[in-house]
Chains A and B, each alone.
Chain A
Amino acid sequence: MIPVFWIGTFIMLFLAVSLILLVMFYQRNLHRYKLHESELLLKASLESERLERVRIANELHDGLQGDLNAIKNFVYILTKSHDQNDMVFVLKETKTAVEAAIETTRLLSQKLMPPLLEQEGCGVAIEKYFLNLEKATGVKFIFKSLDNDIKIPISKGYELYRIIQEFTTNAIKHGLINEFMVVIYGDTTQIIVELIDDGIKFDFFECYKLSQGSGLRNIQSRLKFIKGGLIQRSVLNGNHFEIRILNPLKND
């Protein structure tokens, strides 16, 4: 009977020790993996911020600075010239350059932050964006907001807007769609955004793992930022996504 005692005790102890070690080992690997993943997400969002800044810098350089230089030259000519006719002509040119500069600034600020988003909320901004997109691409874009009184805070609305923007750009670029629909509904506890298209089927999470581009990664990092969850529904044709944002009113 004594061997039974020792063997039994040994087996039980072995069981407990291996369970604990296994858990610790697994947790450490999981932790490393998550750390790595969030680093990647951060890198992706920093990279896209950088690219955005490059674009804005280019526009400032080529657009605004060009206009301003032209204006400076005109002013210089004006100070030197005494011919009445010349002056009228130069003043007209100056006016055009100033108008161009104003237009460039307007476009730039719009890029930095869609103005409608700030004033009218994310729903209106998306609607306007869809209207423009429809004109430019010939694809039918539908936007439906089922609960008109849902208010999404601007910071979250901005991210949501960018997420939908990337989804639509991808759908046009890779998906060859004819129709794209966004439906938003919910209440103060959660907001659900459904994205439905009739394009080429793709698996979001597969593509996310393999992708060389930054679009899907940006979507993930923005979702993480607004604490939203993404589900891909399985449908016969096209793609169907659901974004769920819990406690949309909470700003943290």
Chain B
Amino acid sequence: MQEFLYIISNFVGVLPLIFYLYRKEKIINEFKTLVPILILNFFSSVYEVVFTYKLQIDSEYWFRLYLFLEYFSIAYLFWKLFEGTFYKRLILIFSIVYVVFYILLLKSWELHNNLQTDSYLTVYTTFFVYVLSILWFRKIFIKFEYDSLIHSPVFIVISGLLLYMSSTLFLFLMSDFLLKDIRYDFLDFWRLNIAMCIFFRLLLLTAVFKGYRR
């Protein structure tokens, strides 16, 4: 079961970028804002299959790096979506604080004992996503840029981010505890992450299809 979910998750993870590249010229311009997220999902899927799964290399370094890349792929998305200097400044401040925070947390890095500190970064990114998404929603209501949100790739991906980050927030926050408590099998809980990850990547794939010009 575990393995099956794992394979699906990584399989779905590589698809969005492939479909994007396959018919790149037919995709609406706005979609470019999402490309870093597609690339990240592609490489993280490949990495997990090759290095973690096949070669059994410790994933903790990768995971910490992944958090960094994840934050910046999202920051890139919002950076491109907003125009005014206020928003750009806000994103810049968020990002500088993130980098400082990230470096500080690196100092307390110990192999095999990072779930707690990783989760702080996740909380921060979740907060960032919430703030910027709400600002973006406000902006599209005022400017009235979209006829239908369900057909907007950007809206689909932002919704996906909100859902994924919200549903896994407590898992990451409490993972240290859940892992160390021998009464529970951590993998039972971890399945939630994999399931939500599959869901998010399916939304990414949907976004690519919605991005094709009609």
- How close is A142's CB to chain B, nearest CB, in angstroms? 37
Contact-residue size bin, chain A (C-beta under 8 Å from the other chain): 20 to 34
Q: Which of B13-21, B66-74, B161-169 contacts A (4 or more CB under 8 A)?
A: B161-169
Q: Which of A1-60 contact B (CB under 8 A)?
A: 1-2, 4-5, 8-9, 12-13, 15-17, 19-20, 23-24, 26-28, 30-31, 34
Question: Would A31 and B147 count as touching, CB distance under 8 A?
Answer: yes
Question: Would B163 and A20 count as touching, CB distance under 8 A?
Answer: yes
Question: Would B141 and A16 count as touching, CB distance under 8 A?
Answer: no
Q: Is B187 an interface residue (CB 8 A)?
A: no
Q: State the total of A-B contacts with C-beta under 8 angstroms.
A: 59
Question: Would B184 and A16 count as touching, CB distance under 8 A?
Answer: no
Question: Would B170 and A9 count as touching, CB distance under 8 A?
Answer: yes
Q: Which of B2-10, B35-43, B49-57, B171-179 contacts A (4 or more CB under 8 A)?
A: B171-179
Contacts of B192 in A (CB 8 A): 9
Contact-residue size bin, chain B (C-beta under 8 Å from the other chain): 20 to 34
C-alpha spacing A27/B138, complex, angstroms: 10
Question: Would B140 and A27 count as touching, CB distance under 8 A?
Answer: yes
Q: Is B159 an interface residue (CB 8 A)?
A: yes
- How close is B104's CB to chain A, nearest CB, in angstroms? 25
C-alpha spacing A2/B192, complex, angstroms: 14
The main secondary structure of chain A at its interface with chain B is helix
Q: Is B189 an interface residue (CB 8 A)?
A: yes
- How close is A147's CB to chain B, nearest CB, in angstroms? 29
- CB-nearest residue of chain A relative to B173? A8
- How close is A204's CB to chain B, nearest CB, in angstroms? 21
- CB-nearest residue of chain A relative to B133? A19
Question: Would A23 and B178 count as touching, CB distance under 8 A?
Answer: no
Q: Is B22 an interface residue (CB 8 A)?
A: no
- How close is A212's CB to chain B, nearest CB, in angstroms? 28
Contacts of B147 in A (CB 8 A): 31
**Given A15-B166, A20-B162, 7 other A-B residues pairs in contact with their CB atoms under 8 A:** A4-B170, A5-B171, A9-B168, A9-B169, A16-B167, A24-B150, A28-B148
Q: Which residues of A contact B (CB under 8 A)?
A: 1-2, 4-5, 8-9, 12-13, 15-17, 19-20, 23-24, 26-28, 30-31, 34
